[in-house]
A and B are shown apart, each in its own frame.
Chain A
Amino acid sequence: MKYIGNYKDWINSSWIEIILSMKGFGAPKDFNISLDIDSGQRSKMHESERKVYEIYGTDKIFFHLLESNCLNFQIDPPWLSEKFDWWITKMYPGQFIPIHSDGPKHLKGKRYWMPLQDWEPGHIFIYENISVSRYNAGDLWEYENSLAVHGAINIGHNPRLILQVSTFGES
C-alpha cells in the first residue's frame, strides 16, 4: 500500500451520518437478488464474488456495501482527474470481508482506500501480508498492485467505514 496523503478536510461530516443511517446491500446475501434497495440498482452477484463467498455462505451478510448510486451525495476526489467509480464498505463489529483479489476489471486502473474515521483497535485491513493500522480519518492509500490479495475485519467495538475509489485506466 502506497500512502498518498491525508484528505480529512475534504470529508463532509454529513456523509458519515448518511452512511450510518443507511442499510445498503448486505453482502453477499443481497447480491443474489436484483432488487432496488435504498434506490440502488445492484445486479446479481458477480462470478468472482461468488467464488470468494462459496465457503462462507452466499446467503449470509458479512458486511454492508453502499454503492455510489445508492447514496444521496456525490464525491469529487481532489487527487483524481480521471473517470472513477466509488463505493463505501461498512462493517459492524464481528463483520469481515474474506481474503480475495479484485476482478480483472481493476487490472488497468488504480485502487484507492480511505478510512472515513480514525483507526481503532480491531479495525483491520489486510493487504498481502501486511495490516494497515494506526491511520487517521482521511488518510489515502493506493494499492501498489490492483490485483493484490486483501481482506478486512472489524473485531473492534464500533462500525468501520471505508471509502473505496477505482479508476479504470480511462480518461
Chain B
Amino acid sequence: MQYIGNFFDWIKPEWLDEVLNHPGFEMPKHSLRNEARFNPILKSYFDDVDRIISQEEYEKLIKDLDSMDANDKVVRHAKIHANYLDPSRELDEEYGMYHNAGYDVWADHFRLMEKFDVSFNILDYPPPFLDYEGKHITWWFSKMSPGHVMPMHIDKADPSVQIHKYWMPWTDYEKGHVFIVEDQAITNYKAGDVFMFINPGAWHGAVNIGHRPRAILQITDYKISRNIDLV
C-alpha cells in the first residue's frame, strides 16, 4: 500500500456524522440483492432487502424484461443483473470459495453503504488526491463493528482496465482494527489518511477485533482502454 497523505480536512463533518450513524446493509447477507438495488427496474421487484423473491416472481420479472425496449440502457442493465434475484441461483466462484472454507455466506459479516445509500456525493466536492478527469469513479463505505470480518479476497478486475484503488479510513486506528493486504497489516493510521493499492489485484481482508466501529471509504477509478459497455 502506498501512502498518499492525510485529507481529513476534506471530509465534511455532516458526511462523517451520517456515515457513523448509518446502519448500512448487511453483507454478504444482502450482497446479491444489493447489486439489484442499483437498477430501478429490478429494485421495483423487491420492496425489502431482506426478502428473497419467489421463483414465480422471478419468472415474471424475466418475462417483463423481455417485453421491454431492449435498447434502453436501464433495461439492458437489468437483464445483465436480473440473475442476482434468482432464488435458485447457485453460489459463484467467490462465494463458493467462502462457503467451502466454512463461512456463512448469508450472515452479517460487515456493513456496506453504496453511494446511493447516503445523502451526499463525494464527487460534488471531489477528493483532492483523486485524478478523476476522463475516468469512471466508484465509491462506497464499509463499516465494521467489533466482531465483523471480511474474508481474504481478490477484487475482480478486467486486465484491459487501468484501475486505481484508494483506501481511506474515516475513523482513527485502534488496536484490533485490522486491514491486511497480502501479508502487510495497515496500522497506526489516522482518520483521513489515504493509501493506494500498489497491486489492485492483491489479496486483502479486514476484521474488527477492537472495541469501537471502524469506517472506511473506498474509491476506485477506472480508465477504459477499449470499448466496454458500462451500463
B19 → chain A, closest Cβ, in Å? Answer: 21
B120: CB under 8 A from chain A?
no
Partner of A155, one of B147, B188, B207, B210: B207
A81 → chain B, closest Cβ, in Å? Answer: 34
Q: Are A149 and B175 in contact (CB under 8 A)?
A: yes
Q: Which of B18-65 contact A (CB under 8 A)?
A: none
Q: Which residue of A lies closest to B104 (CB)?
A: A94
A93: CB under 8 A from chain B?
yes
B210 → chain A, closest Cβ, in Å? Answer: 6
Q: Which of A68-120 contact B (CB under 8 A)?
A: 92-94, 96-99, 119
Q: Which residue of A lies closest to B103 (CB)?
A: A94
A131: CB under 8 A from chain B?
yes
B185: CB under 8 A from chain A?
yes
> B224 contacts which chain A residues (CB < 8 A)?
none
> B103 contacts which chain A residues (CB < 8 A)?
93-94
Q: A56-B147, A98-B146 are in contact. Are A122 and B205 (CB under 8 A)?
A: yes
Q: Are A129 and B102 in contact (CB under 8 A)?
A: no
Name which of A96, A97, A119 has the most chain B CB atoms within 10 A of its CB: A96
Cα–Cα, bound, A134→B210 (Å): 23
Q: Are B178 and A153 in contact (CB under 8 A)?
A: yes
B228 → chain A, closest Cβ, in Å? Answer: 30
Q: Are A98 and B176 in contact (CB under 8 A)?
A: yes
Cα–Cα, bound, A157→B152 (Å): 8
> A157 contacts which chain B residues (CB < 8 A)?
97, 100-101, 151-152
The prevalent SS among residues of A at the interface is loop
A148 → chain B, closest Cβ, in Å? Answer: 10
Partner of B149, one of A97, A99, A121, A155: A155
Partner of B180, one of A55, A57, A62, A122: A122
Q: A96-B149, A99-B175 are in contact. Are A126 and B188 (CB under 8 A)?
A: no
> B146 contacts which chain A residues (CB < 8 A)?
55-56, 98
Q: Which residue of B lies closest to A99 (CB)?
A: B176
Partner of B175, one of A97, A119, A124, A129: A129
> B175 contacts which chain A residues (CB < 8 A)?
99, 126, 128-129, 149, 151
B182: CB under 8 A from chain A?
yes
Cα–Cα, bound, A155→B184 (Å): 14
Q: Are B176 and A151 in contact (CB under 8 A)?
A: yes
Q: A124-B178, A126-B176 are in contact. Are A92 and B102 (CB under 8 A)?
A: yes
- For the complex with contacts A98-B211, A121-B182, A126-B209, 10 further pairs of A-B residues with Cβ separation under 8 Å are A93-B102, A94-B102, A96-B207, A98-B146, A98-B147, A121-B183, A121-B203, A129-B175, A131-B185, A155-B205
> What are the 7 tightest A-B residue pairs by CB atom distance, in nearest-first order?
A99-B176, A131-B185, A122-B152, A157-B101, A133-B183, A93-B101, A155-B205
